Structure 1
Amino acid sequence: MRTEPLLAEADALLARGRAHNAERLLAPFVGREPENVGAWHRMARARLDLDDPAGALLAAQAAWHLDPYGAESLFWLSRSRSRLGDHAEAIAAAAAACREDPGNPRLHNRLAEAQLAAGLPTDAAEGLRCVVDLARYDADLHVTFGLALFAVGRPLSAREALGRALAIDFGHTGARAALKKFDRAMSTAIDAASLALAADEFAESLRIHPGQHGPRRPGPAREALGHVARVALVWFLAAIAGVGVLEATGLLTAPSSLYLSLFCAAGTAGCVSTLARPPR
């Protein structure tokens, strides 16, 4: 198989959240062509999406050994290290990537994420202060800047940063998730002392401790199950309402067992939908 079509297919699978399929596609390829740096990058991403940071680190290290000064190799090495709680190494790799490609906002964003995961929100906020002015078009960067600002006790500036992210990309899921986190954190802040405590707790929530892989992403099977359960719940509720209307108009006499079955089915669908929901 030619290299470019295979890597493009892996990219498409990863973009659709099918990391397992991407890993299965890439595994035999990197076995045949272990010198292909791009394939190792994608393998690292797939394994991170599958919540396998140790496997991702092996892939990232393979890429880094082949391309020790490549910004992309350093990026995936940093992400893998962060997920494993190896913060000094993660920050060093991200900083090296920024030196190799100083104009790339994605790399500065990775460095700030690594600093937040290490419990260094002040470093993250200071490091992004100038970068966000130069990369006003990058929504991800503004979201990370907002997280850092909130973690150092500047909630108004944090919301402004997220507002800029949403102005760039109105549907940005990271920005909207961050706003919900801000609201939860601020629900206990009534004065300066409680605001400082809320900021400290928020900063702690962003940290990744060694052995703690960080927020687990739901796999594609779990996402599909949740979607089916939500759709089924809507249909069961609609059926209950429809039977009720028909019975009220005299067009149908429904036995109580029908209602019981529909309510049980709706309850089951609701439970499955809740259990399949990604953790916050």
Structure 2
Amino acid sequence: MQTELLLAEADALLARGRAHNAERLLAPFVGREPENVGAWHLITRARLELADRAGALAAAQAAWHLDPYGAESLFWLSHARSRLGDHAEAIAAAAAACREDPGNPRLHNRLAEAQLAAGLPTDAAEGLRCVVDMAGYDPDLLVTYGQALFAIGRPLSAREALGKALAIDFGHAGARAALRAFDKSMSTAVDAASLALAADEFAESLRIHPGQPVRRRPGAARAALRHFSRVALIWFLAVFTLAGILETFEVMTVPTSLYFALLCAVGAAGCISAAAGPPR
């Protein structure tokens, strides 16, 4: 029971964008219980969020050695390999995961991501074409499919895929980021030749080259900012309400300046929370 609680806490920390805290929580645990595959998965996830590529690969390999045919272990091994630019290994691990659990769209999405990172958008688009027909309810899958379609010069189909993703999850950060990238790429496309060039440049932007510096994903930072701003908003509203109650029952006199400061704080917290985006 304690193990389950600890892993659940680590998972919650990761969901709130606190990868560093999750990694610190899990590191001594896997030292005591190195056979726990789930803990190694979570450490891999945390280290990927922290851009610790070598550490993520070490954790993913530890899970894979314990569970060489597990789809989840192969998923994280593929993810870590992609970040390092080891594309053949990343694609092989993702393909093996798909064979182990062929009905799981998340695994097919990982395979397509690995192919895009390797500069193989045609393979990614072709591989996802049938999967999307069967699992069109998965917005992450639709976003990756849209990216692959745009990278092979099919912008209208790409936008259609992203539109479906947003219809499922209106606040999907990946879909909105992809749309912004599409708009930026299309701003220079005026004919067939420039469209092909824009598609090639977009495809190149998805590639990961060995030794390439890691660009930290904004999603974790936004999640943490969203979480703290909403906690602050709740506290400010609670204090504002308490002040009103105390003054109503003549327990104390609350200065007008305090009400004004609390209103400003509530407004600021609300604006920050809205800017950070809806939860995923």
TM-score, reference length from structure 2: 0.78
Q: Could you give the per-residue CA deviations for residues 132-159 of structure 1, whole angstroms, max 9, x where no partner exists?
A: 0100110000000000000000000000
- Asked if structure 2 preserves the Cα contact closer than 8 Å seen for 1:19 and 1:46, the reply is yes
The runs of 5 or more residues in structure 2 that have no matched partner are: 233-271
- 1:221–1:196 distance in 2 versus 1, CA, 3 Å: closer
Q: Distance in 2 between matches of 1:25 and 1:69?
A: 27
SS at match of 1:69: coil
**Deviation at 1:221?**
11
- 1:237-278 Cα distance to aligned partner (Å, 9 max, x none): xxxxxxxxxxxxxxxxxxxxxxxxxxxxxxxxxxxx9xxx9x
Count of paired positions: 230
C-alpha displacement at 1:223, in angstroms? Answer: 6.3
Moved over 6 A (4+): none
Residues in 1 aligned to 2:12 and 2:223: alpha-carbon distance in whole angstroms: 19
Q: Give the Cα–Cα distance (whole angstroms) in 1 for the partners of residues 106 and 170 of structure 2.
A: 19
* Contact kept in structure 2, 1:91 and 1:115, CA below 8 Å: yes
1:61-84 Cα distance to aligned partner (Å, 9 max, x none)? 000000000000000000000000
> Match for residue 131 of structure 2?
131
Contact 1:83 1:213 (8 Å CA) reproduced: no
Cα 1:213/1:60, change in 2 over 3 Å: farther
Aligned counterparts, 1:7-26, within 5 A: 7-26=7-26
| Alignment check: 8 A CA contact 2:82 2:208 kept | yes
- Residue 113 of structure 1 aligns with which residue? 113
TM-score (norm 1): 0.78
1:212 is displaced (CA, Å) by 1.4
2:162 alignment partner in structure 1: 162
Does the CA contact (< 8 Å) of 1:51 and 1:213 recur in 2? no
Equivalent position SS for 1:102: coil
Residue 10 of structure 1, CA deviation: 0.5
CA gap 1:199/1:51 in 2 versus in 1, 3 angstroms: same
**Could you say which residue in structure 1 is the equivalent of 2:103?**
103
Matches within 5 A, 1:22-171: 22-171=22-171
Q: Distance in 1 between matches of 2:169 and 2:129?
A: 20
Whole-angstrom CA distance in 2 between matches of 1:133 and 1:214: 33
For the 8 Å contact 2:49–2:217, the answer to whether it is kept is yes
CA RMSD in angstroms, aligned pairs only = 2.2
Residues 94-122 of structure 1, C-alpha deviation per residue, up to 9 Å, x if partnerless?
Answer: 00000000000000000000000000000
Higher mean displacement: 122-131 or 213-222 = 213-222
How far off its partner does 1:8 sit? 0.3
Gaps of 5+ in 1: 232-272
Q: CA separation in 2, counterparts of 1:100 and 1:59?
A: 21
- Give distance in 2, aligned partners of 1:141 and 1:10: 25
CA distance in 1, matches of 2:162, 2:214: 22
Q: In the superposition, relative to structure 1, how do residues 214 and 121 fare at CA in structure 2: closer, same or farther (>3 Å)?
A: farther
AA of the residue aligned to 1:25:
L
- Using a 3 Å threshold, how does the CA distance of structure 1 residues 161 and 222 change in structure 2: closer, same or farther? closer
- Tell me the CA shift for residue 222 of structure 1: 11
1:53 deviates by 1.1
Matched letter for residue 82 of structure 2: S
- The amino acid of 2:78's aligned partner reads S
Question: Does the Cα contact within 8 Å between 2:16 and 2:223 map onto a contact in 1?
Answer: no
The 2-side partners of 1:34 and 1:47 are apart by: 17
